[in-house]
Amino acid sequence: MSARLIDSFQRRIDYLRVSVTDRCDLRCTYCMPKGFKGFEEPAHWMRHDEMTRLIGLFTSLGVRKVRLTGGEPLLRRGLSELARSLTQLPGLDDLSVSSNGTQLARHAGPLKEAGVHRLNISLDSLDRDCFARITGRDCLADVLDGLREARAVGFAPIKLNMVVQADVNLDEVKRMVAFAIEQGFVLRLIEPMPVGETGRASKGVDLSRLGEALAREHGLLPQVMGQGAGPARYWCTADGGMSLGVITPMSQHFCAACNRVRLGVDGTLYLCLGQNDQVPLGQMLRDGADDATLTQAILGGIAAKPERHEFNERPQQIVRFMSQTGG
């Protein structure tokens, strides 16, 4: 059945990212503007049973990896219960959660018990003042507490995502690398994307060159990942205890190997982060569509998945914010 989710460019789509909420308790400068109030009405959010139903259709078509995202997913009530129901879906091999970590200390245990396999935690600085400037809140200690608890309950590896901005936190990168090596985390440096006005206002750095320089400096070795493993290029320590990755949608895009689509909190299927192509699966579901109709809509969407983003050529075209798309 997995062959059914192959797009017109012969890419196998086996990874689904699902936004469980577009709300967040931070206001990171590259993601959501201060004072933003244009959130989706809760009445339009997918219920847990609706998410499970739609995700089940994707797994029946060959999706093997699902990531729960936001906004901040730990703000959605009953996330652990949702995760537990998803782990029962036939064919789902990997369930992960992306979080900013502010609520992680009290949720790490229940998520682990529910069957979540992996965590990605956003951490853009280890400097308290810099962290507060980027996120709008002085809560770095809460994130670090969450990381400690996640390790204590057995999550491994834990990935740290650092969006690198020139003149904001570029000077924090080396400190973050040292922290990841010391703690055994996977560190991924990410170029900001022009998604929404906040994304366009963020000045990025060519991380292809920076990653190579950091690998040489720390004696890291190129790490070969399997096909479809994701957009990052990795280096690792000789003992494999720490990995450094770079995600370079601007300086060296990875669209030819794209294996993912996204569901927004209202059930909208977004086919490309950098294009406006979408399928209103959530609305169709609420209007009474049966599984066969929804399946045909999914297949039609995958067939229409664009070849690549146009962030460099047309940076103004995506007006929605990252939190509205689903991480």
What are the pLDDT digits (tens) for 258-277? 999 999 999 999 998 777 78
pLDDT at 233: 87
Full residue range of the structural domain in which residue 114 is found: 2-325
Burial code (b: 16+ CB inside 10 Å, e: under 16) for 41-50 equals eeeebbebee
| Model pTM score | 0.91
In this structure, are residues 108 and 132 in contact, taking their beta carbons and an 8 Å threshold? Answer: no
Mean pLDDT across the stretch 233-247? 90
pLDDT bucket at 49, cuts 50 / 70 / 90: very high
- The CATH number of whichever domain residue 115 belongs to comes to 3.20.20.70
Q: Residue 162 corresponds to which tokens in the numbers above?
A: 């650092």
pLDDT at 226 over 50: no
The closest alpha carbon to 9, from 258, 268, 316, 265, belongs to 258
In this structure, are residues 105 and 142 in contact, taking their beta carbons and an 8 Å threshold? Answer: yes
On the CB side of 131, CA atoms within 13 Å amount to 19
Between CA 187 and CA 163 the distance in angstroms is: 11
How many domains does the chain contain in total?
1
What share of the chain has pLDDT > 70, as a percent? 87
Q: Under DSSP, is residue 144 helix (H, G, I), strand (E, B) or coil?
A: helix
pLDDT at 228: 43
Mean pLDDT across the stretch 173-202? 83
Mean pLDDT across the stretch 109-114? 98
Between CA 162 and CA 282 the distance in angstroms is: 31
Q: Residue 166 corresponds to which tokens in the numbers above?
A: 């020139």
Between CA 139 and CA 144 the distance in angstroms is: 9
